[in-house]
Amino acid sequence: MIAVWLIGASFGAPQASADSVRCGGKLVQNGDPAIVVRNACGAPNFVDPWIGGAGAGYGAAFSMEEWTYNRGPGRLLQIMIFRNGELYRIRDGGYGFAEGGPTSCRPSDIARGISKYRLLAACGEPAQRTVVGFIYSNRGRTANGDYYLRRGVVPVYRERWIYNFGGNRLLREVTLENAVVVETDTLDRGFDE
């Protein structure tokens, strides 16, 4: 198995986070209700609801949702994460892009650090999706990359996707945590459909 640990050059710089962002002339910030953000920023290009949610304590769950705004190639993607209907975190996802359906995706295009939205835009739907659900992990993420906690764990929403690039290439398994690619592995030889 081969793990990809680099961020693809075509996908932009590592993500940075902020407490507020301007949408037109309006300021939205952490703690704002989703309806206020939608009124200020309009409809997002991509909405990713995370089912369930853990981390509030034993037996308690959060309702999580991620909105992505793509304003085009000259501007940064704005990713807004909502917890229980309130804006919880704002981060950028590298430079935006022109939407127009999946392009010719190569296995090397699937790199650690890219968002689920960017992966879907570049490669389309995977051949198989498996929702692992919320797990507790000792890996955390910052704008500068991953780190491992010395003590304790954080809840993350994990999915595993498999892409089939045809009979001449290996299947690619992609692990996403909180809608970001954290690992890719090669599997058996793919197949022609």
Q: pLDDT digits over 120-152, tens only?
A: 999 999 999 999 988 888 776 655 566 677 777
| The pLDDT value given to residue 96 | 92
CATH numbers and ranges of domains, the chain: 17-95 (3.30.1450), 101-189 (3.30.1450)
Tell me whether strands 86-95 and 46-50 are parallel, antiparallel or unpaired.
unpaired
In this predicted structure, the answer to whether residue 18 has a pLDDT above a threshold of 70 is: yes
What's the average model confidence in pLDDT over 15-19? 66
Output DSSP code: residue 39: H
DSSP-assigned beta bridge partners for residue 50: 64
What is the Cα–Cα distance from 69 to 76, expressed in whole angstroms? Answer: 9
Among candidate residues 97, 102, 159, 96, the one with its CA nearest the CA of residue 125: 102
Top pLDDT among 108 and 14 is at 108
The residues, ordered by sequence, that sit 6+ positions from 48 with a Cβ below 8 Å of its Cβ are 65, 66, 67, 68, 116, 117, 179
Inter-CA distances, 113 with 12, 16, 55, 139, 151, Å: 10, 12, 23, 13, 24
What's residue 2's pLDDT?
A: 32
- By percentage, how much of the chain surpasses pLDDT 90? 54
Residue 175 above 60 pLDDT? Answer: yes
The DSSP output letter for 167 is T
Residue 110 has pLDDT above 50, yes or no: yes
pLDDT at 4 > cutoff 60: no
For residues 33 and 45, give the distance between their C-alpha atoms in angstroms, rounded to a whole number: 18
pLDDT at residue 58, as a whole number? 55
Which pLDDT score is estimated for 22? 92
Whether the Cβ atoms of residue 158 and residue 145 lie closer than 8 Å to each other = no
Q: Quick check: 7 pLDDT over 50?
A: no
The percentage of residues in the chain with a pLDDT greater than 70, rounded to a whole number, is: 80
Whether residue 79 has pLDDT greater than 80: yes
Helix (H) or strand (E) holding 117: helix 116-123
Is 105:124 a contact under the CB 8 Å cutoff? yes
- Report the DSSP beta bridge partners of residue 173: 162, 185
| For residue 34, pLDDT beyond 80 | yes
